[in-house]
Amino acid sequence: MKISSTLPTSIPSKVRLAPELEKALQKSKAQATEKASFGDMLMEKIQNVDQMQQQADVAVSDVATGKSKNLHEAVLTMEMADTSLRLMVTVRNKALEAYQEIMRMPI
């Protein structure tokens, strides 16, 4: 039996993705074509962190009041919100350090 060592010359033109991934991909492409400023991107990320914090608050209050019995999801939501907040604070600190370093440079 002979095994061919050549690679296929054609790749399927359309790969089927899950509907959620397809929507995310289209949204990503649309955002890439728009000219967004750094400030707009930063504001969007801060709003995402704020939304995650609010979702964590709702999850905790739902577990505390008995509306939800799923403690595991509430803890995961809280940890995701905490991690995103820590990342945002770290980015802020790095940006401030870079700004201070630039300000200390002699002209």
DSSP-derived letter for residue 67 is S
Half-sphere exposure of 90 (CA within 13 A, CB side): 6
Q: Are 53 and 85 in contact (CB under 8 A)?
A: yes
Distance in angstroms (rounded) separating the CA atoms of residues 92 and 89? 5
pTM tops 0.75: no
User: Which pLDDT score, from 0 to 100, does residue 7 have?
Assistant: 43
Residue-wise pLDDT for 28-72, tens only, equals 766 665 667 888 888 999 999 999 999 999 999 999 999 988 899
Distance in angstroms (rounded) separating the CA atoms of residues 81 and 102? 32
3 state DSSP class of 4: coil
Residue-wise pLDDT for 70-81, tens only, equals 899 999 999 999
